[in-house]
Amino acid sequence: MPELSYREAVRDAMSEAMRRDDDVFIMGEDIAEMGGSMGVTQGMLEEFGPDRVRNTPISEMAIVGAGIGAAMAGMRPIVEIMYQDFTTLSMEQLVNQAAKHRYMSGGQLTVPLTVRTQGGAGWSPGAQHAQQLEAWFVHVPGLKVVFPSTPEDVRGLLWSSIYDDNPVIFFEHRTLYGLKGEVPDQIDPIELGQARVHREGEDVTVVATGRLVHEALAAAEEAEGEGISVEVLDPRTLQPLDEDAIVRSVEKTNRCVVAHEAVVRMGFGAEVAALVQERAFDYLDAPVERVGAKFAPLPFAPVMEEFVIPHQADVLAAIKRTVGRNGDAAS
């Protein structure tokens, strides 16, 4: 099996779709000659030309809206929003238009649009270039939300997103772009709505997304050394959500930790915690623990940024709380 970086895997899915299908094209800021602010689209202009790798003005409303219009006209556009913080500028188009045309038309329209965006803390960009806003979009009926954490997943899920007939908000984590992993020879589409169990365990389930999948795997390794068997599950798509997989896992382990980089309050973890108590309450041996960023904008100074966002140690501490070790369980 070939090895690709997460960045290359994203590019590979887009390029392969564009080779096979004239209806797929990409537009976004600085994606042509520059190859994107994160280098994801490097080389695509040369292969596909400026009609299909379209550099745009800094106009998030119009870029997303043009994607909606082209999608309604039967194409499968990919829109790159440079930083997910800038999706706030296109929120009207995403929430009121993309998500609702199918519904408001009584099923006459489809909007097969993929909006790719990226973010994540770790490089000290400060408060406007590193937020994790995925939970906002899960709150909007009509949108699908995807957040892959490995090269294999990002490629297979992006392919499925491009070919999904609904608007998909596709989150990439900036610190994962360099991550390498094996991928199948041919693109293997991954169905939206299927979780992936990265590591099986018996004592506690960690439901993690994005960068925190890797923090959780490292924490699980550490816990293993202390005799705690941890299952790590990545839902991969937040909408639709593979509820059954989460419930099944918790029914087996009887404990659950949810871990994401976004702030804890009103985050995706709250939804998972609610799901688990609704469907697996009788199986729970401990309260569901949530791991995420502290309730603060992302600060600039590296020491403060490190303080705000969650790490392996935070996941490990939560794991230990659920199994009642270390005596610092919530009273």
Kindly give the residue spans of alpha helices, DSSP state H, lying in 23-123.
44-48, 60-72, 91-92, 101-104
Decide: is 56 part of the binding site for other proteins (CB under 8 A). yes
Catalytic residue among 8, 60, 231, 305: 60
Give 67 or 292: the residue with its C-beta nearer to other proteins. Answer: 67
Contact string 113-142 vs other proteins (x = CB under 8 A): ----------------------------xx
Which of the stretches 71-79, 214-222, 269-277, 290-298 binds other proteins when contact is defined by CB under 8 A?
71-79
Q: How many residues bind other proteins (CB under 8 A)?
A: 45
Radius of gyration of the chain (CA): 20
Give 146 or 288: the residue with its C-beta nearer to other proteins. Answer: 146
Decide: is 28 part of the binding site for other proteins (CB under 8 A). no
Torsion angle, alpha carbons of 143, 145, 146, 147, to 10 = 160
CA distance linking residue 173 with residue 157, whole number of Å: 14
Which token pair is 312? 């392996």
Decide: is 62 part of the binding site for other proteins (CB under 8 A). yes
What's the number of CA atoms in the CB half-sphere (13 Å) around residue 177? 17
Give 84 or 93: the residue with its C-beta nearer to other proteins. Answer: 93
The minimum distance between CB 23 and other proteins, in angstroms, equals 8
Decide: is 1 part of the binding site for other proteins (CB under 8 A). no
Decide: is 30 part of the binding site for other proteins (CB under 8 A). no
Decide: is 70 part of the binding site for other proteins (CB under 8 A). yes
| CA distances for 215 relative to 28, 40, 97, 312, angstroms | 31, 24, 36, 4
Instruction: Give 328: exposed, middle or buried? Use CB within 10 Å, 0-12, 13-18, 19+.
Output: exposed
Q: Which of 5, 42, 110, 277 binds other proteins (CB under 8 A)?
A: 110
Query: Quick check: 208 and 42 in contact, CB under 8 A?
Result: no
Q: Which of 7, 116, 144, 196 binds other proteins (CB under 8 A)?
A: 144
Give 109 or 218: the residue with its C-beta nearer to other proteins. Answer: 109
Give 45 or 66: the residue with its C-beta nearer to other proteins. Answer: 66
Which of the stretches 3-11, 126-134, 164-172, 301-309 binds other proteins when contact is defined by CB under 8 A?
164-172
| CA distances for 89 relative to 32, 56, 62, 82, 270, angstroms | 22, 15, 10, 12, 26
Give 64 or 213: the residue with its C-beta nearer to other proteins. Answer: 64
Mark whether 260 is an active-site residue: no
Query: Quick check: 318 and 291 in contact, CB under 8 A?
Result: yes
Q: Which of 18, 40, 71, 81 binds other proteins (CB under 8 A)?
A: 71
> Is residue 270 classed as helix, strand or coil in its secondary structure?
helix
The whole-angstrom distance between residue 280's C-alpha and the CA centroid of its chain comes to 25
The residue type found at 297 is P
CA distance linking residue 171 with residue 148, whole number of Å: 7
Catalytic residue among 129, 173, 198, 260: 129
Q: Which of 35, 36, 65, 267 binds other proteins (CB under 8 A)?
A: 65
The minimum distance between CB 66 and other proteins, in angstroms, equals 4
CA distance linking residue 5 with residue 13, whole number of Å: 12
Token look-up 């005799």 returns 227
The minimum distance between CB 65 and other proteins, in angstroms, equals 2
- 88-107 residues near other proteins, rule: CB under 8 A: 92-93, 96-97, 101-107
Residue ranges that bind other proteins, judged by CB under 8 A = 22, 25, 51-52, 54, 56-57, 59, 61-75, 77, 92-93, 96-97, 101-110, 112, 141-142, 144, 164-166
Active site residues: 60, 129
